[in-house]
Amino acid sequence: MAPQATLLTSRQCKLGARPFTARRVCPRTVVAHASAAQSAADARSSAASTRRQVLGGIAAATLYVAGPRVASAADIPTPVGPPEGDATLISTADVQGLTSQEKLVLSLNRRIQTQNRVPVDFPGFIREGFDVKVVADGYKTAPSGLIYKDFEEGSGPLPTDGQEVVFNYTGYNESGSVIDTSFRQGRAAQTRLGVGGMIPGFEEGIRTMKAGGKRRIIVPPALGPPVGPSTFFSAKQCEVFDVELLTIRTCTRRQVMMFSDLVCE
């Protein structure tokens, strides 16, 4: 009997670490040996079954060999990821109208947040599947669904595309655990606007800040990092960022002989 082909999938892709990056790192995919006797239809069926097991709808590029022909990525059905869910802002006064189950979920969330020593007035989260209620007072909801609250307004003009923003930040998940902070790096973060270098919700939140401003931004899943399994950030959760915008710099391109660079000051 001819040996049967063994299908090996790639490992799940991991998402990047910081709110102003969306780096994706994937290990190499291992291609199994297959005999000429196995039909292309059987191989496609096995690949589709394996793809459905990948969490979060991550597009792991699984390759396989079927007979004398190597199947392409187009032969593998594109998986449908889970819905991102809705984030709804409610006030603490609205908590009285919640169901007993929702109150229990909020109580457990608050208990974990207390253990994680969250900042004052940190929002509470009542998650039901992919949908979540955000319990907080004094926050605003943008048309995009971004939720934010200003602690200090700052002064001067708003940053525009092409300018560099310098800021300190601390990011939290819904349980109040710190997932990243510029203070661990020992220096403020900096990046340019309009170059696709930040999580969409984070960039939207910092665009309407002035230098010296301090803001808490609640990024719903739809404005968060690409959908994927829970790693550094979870694309199925809200991310909370405390941001202080330090400086806005204008960038110009400098030409020296055959070389050029970008100077922001």
Q: Give whichever of 10-19, 41-50, 220-229, 247-256 has the largest mean pLDDT.
A: 247-256
| 182 — pLDDT class (breaks 50, 70, 90) | very high
Instruction: Please give the Cα distance from 204 to 19 (Å, whole number).
Output: 12
DSSP string computed for 110-163: HHHHHHTTPPTTPPEEEEETTEEEEE-SS-EE-TTS-EEEEEE--BSPPP-TT-
User: Please, which residues bridge with residue 147 across strands?
Assistant: 141, 218
Measure the CA–CA gap between 63 and 103, rounded to whole angstroms: 47
The SS3 call for residue 214 is strand
Which pLDDT band, with edges at 50, 70 and 90, does 237 fall under? confident
Phi then psi dihedrals of residue 206, to 5 deg: -80, -20
Report the DSSP beta bridge partners of residue 244. 168, 214
The whole-number pLDDT of residue 265 equals: 82
- pLDDT of residue 258 exceeding 60, the answer is yes
pLDDT tens profile 96-108? 999 999 999 999 9
User: Which among 227, 253, 204 has a CA at the least distance from the CA of 80?
Assistant: 227
Distance, CA of 121 to CA of 117 (rounded, Å): 11
Q: Which of 4-18, 84-98, 111-125, 199-213 has the lowest mean pLDDT?
A: 4-18
User: What was the pLDDT predicted at 77?
Assistant: 47
Q: What is the dihedral of CA 176, 180, 185, 187, to 10 degrees?
A: -80
Tell me the range of 43-57, 62-76, 81-95, 178-192 where mean pLDDT is highest. 178-192
| Angle, vertex CA 244, rays to CA 223 and CA 138, nearest 5 | 65
Is residue 178 very low, low, confident or very high in pLDDT (cuts 50, 70, 90)? Answer: very high
Return the ∠ at Cα 15 (arms to 11 and 20), rounded to 5°: 165
The domain locations on the chain are 14-75, 87-251
Q: What is the mean pLDDT of the chain?
A: 76
- Confidence at 262, pLDDT banded by 50, 70, 90: confident
Q: What is the pLDDT of residue 256?
A: 79
Pairing of strands 87-90, 131-135: parallel
Domain 87-251: give its CATH code.
Answer: 3.10.50.40
Which has more pLDDT, 14 or 262? Answer: 262
